Amino acid sequence: MNLAGRLQEGLAALGLDLSGSAQSRLLAYVALLKKWNSTYNLTAIRDEKDMVTQHLLDSLSVLPVLPESALAGRRWADVGSGAGLPGIPLAIARPDLDTTLIEAVEKKSAFQRQAKIELGLSNVTVHGGRVEDLPGGQFDAVISRAFADLTDFIRLAGHLPAPNGRLYAMKGLAPEDEMNRLPSGWAVLECTRLTVPGLDVQRHLIVLERV
């Protein structure tokens, strides 16, 4: 199966109806990532088919479990975004999201800026710098993918959400130990199992809120 077919099949399994333009942009992102990866080593995944599954579909797997109220017209930040994951796939799939990518490693934020230009992502802002240096209270949602520890996520990015905003941590196995030792003032609102088409591993979305 070619890349377009693999993407279409995965999107159908997720129940996502994306336009042809959005699908083309997602595949163009994979092509750009592969091109840059040969020089800058942005991701350990080299094969484009695996990128479709482990980068695109994995990033988009949060959309079916999120309420529309958390998405439409909202301000999202992707902390420790790396090659722009999950922020760029989410911004492509949901052009109504105002998405800020936060990445301290210059070669990775440079790639994000190039992707923004080449893919025409007017709803994406790239912040090349430390998350701690950003002013607080600006975002409705702050997401991270494979961020180290929930406590560290809260410590470094807990100032970013607006008063009613939330933190979203994409994880593998449900981190019961981490969820049981959150810093004071924070609680787990939800721990939801994610399904990633073509990937036979556990994925979870942990939703954190102030209490």
- DSSP string covering the chain, please? --HHHHHHHHHHHHT----HHHHHHHHHHHHHHHHHHHHH---S---HHHHIIIIIIHHHTTGGGS-GGGTTT-EEEEET-TTTTTHHHHHHH-TTSEEEEEE-SHHHHHHHHHHHHHHT-TTEEEEES-GGGSPSS-EEEEEEES-S-HHHHHHHHTTSEEEEEEEEEEESS--HHHHHTPPTTEEEEEEEEE--TT--S-EEEEEEEE-
User: According to CATH, what is the number of the domain 3-210?
Assistant: 3.40.50.150
Mean local confidence (pLDDT), 102-119: 97
For residue 41, the model assigns a pLDDT of: 87
- The per-residue pLDDT for 11 is 98
Tell me the pLDDT tens digit for each residue of 200-211: 999 999 999 999
**How much is the pTM?**
0.97
How do the domains of the chain map onto residue ranges?
Answer: 3-210
Residues 44-88: tens digit of each pLDDT: 999 999 999 999 999 999 999 999 999 999 999 999 999 999 999
d(CA 38, CA 7): 22
